[in-house]
Homo-oligomer: A and B are copies of this chain.
Amino acid sequence: MAQQHRAHLTRHSIMVAAAEEIDEVGYEAARLSAILRRCGTTKGAFYFHFSGKQEVAHALVERYREHLAELSTRWYERGQDPLATMVGLTCDTARRLEEDVLLRAGLSLACNHVGTETDGWEFLFDDLIGRAADHGLLRPGVDPAATARLCYAVAVGTNLLVAGDPRRLAARLEESWRVLLPGLAVDGTRVAAAVG
């Protein structure tokens, strides 16, 4: 049992070290030797847990996806209106990304496959804006599918523009929704005012 716990800790410390290295230099440039140096783990211990850098990356993407799934479930279950849910979920995720290097690396790895794989957000924006339309929350003439794509672009673009300083992500995203929502939603000013 103690041994199992130790193995779990080693696996986790490898993932943290890989995430830190990927966060700093990017996936392509991240070297296994640098990851091992960061966590003080031997090559043998590493290969006991992972077949290589790619498998750690997959584990980080997996962890990111699970985390996003849990978080979105929690926000949906609050029962707020869909636009408030969108703002709450995205800003909550942004704050977690600021603090959690594992999540940050997981998202960046998932994002580098945009087009082929997915980071999970395309579905979420489509679903939440669709629900907002069903609830009559969008202004007349606002196209839900196009609005969902715009919100996705805003989130992705904002994330990219603060890439040098992830601690600014939540603040910039809050600002984006505050500018965007009053023009799109019937009650957008109230939703936007509740941001933060």
- By beta carbon, the residue of chain B nearest A158 is B153
At the interface, yes or no: A172 with Cβ under 8 Å from chain B?
A: yes
Contact B160 A172 (CB under 8 A): no
Among the stretches A42-50, A76-84, A87-95, A143-151, the one at the interface with B is A143-151
Binds B, one of A14-22, A56-64, A67-75, A179-187: A179-187
Residue-by-residue, is A103-122 near B (CB-CB < 8 Å gives 1, otherwise 0)? 00000000100111000000
Which residues of chain A from 137 to 196 have any CB-CB distance to chain B below 8 Å in the complex?
139, 141-143, 146-147, 149-150, 152-158, 160-161, 163-165, 172, 175-176, 178-180, 182-184, 188
Query: Complex formed: what's the CA distance from A148 to B53 in Å?
Result: 39
Task: Tell me if A115 and B157 are in contact (CB < 8 A).
Answer: no
Interface size range on A against B: 35 or more
Residues from chain B with a CB closer than 8 A to the CB of A139 are 183
Closest Cβ neighbor of A142 among chain B residues: B179
- Cβ of A2 within 8 Å of any chain B Cβ, yes or no, is no
Contacts A157-B152, A160-B157 given; does A179 touch B184 at CB 8 Å = yes
- A sample of 16 cross-chain residue pairs with beta-carbon separation below 8 angstroms, ordered by A number, consists of A28-B29, A115-B165, A141-B182, A142-B179, A143-B179, A146-B176, A147-B179, A149-B176, A150-B176, A153-B176, A154-B157, A156-B156, A156-B161, A157-B157, A180-B180, A183-B183
Interface residues of A (CB under 8 A from B): 26, 28-29, 111, 114-116, 139, 141-143, 146-147, 149-150, 152-158, 160-161, 163-165, 172, 175-176, 178-180, 182-184, 188
